[in-house]
């Protein structure tokens, strides 16, 4: 098993709203535009998290599914 952190839910019951908002943000975009949006979103979220260790833990977890 690749190394990953198991994350409990932090959505406070608003998970469906957040997921829908995520999809809505991509509506009508080409694939390239969607990729660009995701890149901006990742950068914005990384900045909002701020802490380098937390970001790297999230990256490790995301990456683990590609291994």
Partner 1 sequence: MTAYAYTEQPFVRPPELDGGKTEAPVAIVGAGPIGLAMAIDLAQRGVASVLFDDNNVVSVGSRAICWAKRTLEIFDRLGVGERMLEKGVTWKVGRNFHGTEQVYAFDLLPEDGHKYPAFVNLQQYYVEDYLLDRAREFPDLIDIRFLSKVTDHEDRGEGVRVTVETPEGPYTLDADYMLACDGANSPTRTRMGLDFSGQTFEERFLICDIEMEESPFGDRDTPERWFWFDPPFHPGKSALLHKQPDNIYRIDLQLDTGADPEAEGTEDRVLPRIRAIVGDKPFRIDWLSVYRFRCMMLERFVHGRVIFAGDSAHVVSPFGARGGNGGIQDVDNLGWKLAAVVTGEAPRALIDSYDEERRHGAEENILNSARATGFMTPKSPIEALFRSETLRMAHDQPFARELINSGRLSRPCSLAGFPLQTDSASGQVRPGTAIIDAPVGDTWLISLVQGALTLVGFGGVRLPDVEGVRRIGIAQRTDDYPCFGDMEGYALGRYGMGKAYLFRPDGHVAAVFATPTAAGVAAARDRALGRKPVLTEAV
* CB-nearer residue toward partner 1: 25 or 43: 43
* CB-nearer residue toward partner 1: 14 or 35: 35
Mapping DSSP to helix (H, G, I), strand (E, B) and coil, where does residue 54 land? helix
Mapping DSSP to helix (H, G, I), strand (E, B) and coil, where does residue 3 land? coil
Residues 6+ apart with CB under 8 A from 3: 60, 64
Could you give the string, one character per residue 23-52, with x where binding to partner 1 holds by CB under 8 A and - elsewhere?
Answer: ------------xx--xx-xxx--x-----
- Residue in the structure block whose two tokens are 């998970």: 15
Distance between CA 1 and CA 3 in Å, rounded? 6
Number of residues that bind partner 1 (CB under 8 A): 8
* CB-nearer residue toward partner 1: 42 or 58: 42
Question: Which stretches of the chain bind partner 1, using CB under 8 A?
Answer: 35-36, 39-40, 42-44, 47
């Amino acid at each position: 098993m690749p190394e990953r952190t198991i994350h409990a839910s932090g959505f406070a019951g608003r998970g469906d709203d957040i997921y829908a908002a995520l999809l809505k943000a991509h509506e009508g975009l080409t694939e390239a535009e969607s990729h660009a949006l995701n890149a901006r979103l990742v950068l914005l979220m990384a900045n909002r998290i701020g802490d380098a260790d937390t970001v790297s833990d999230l990256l490790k977890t995301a990456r683990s599914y590609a291994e």
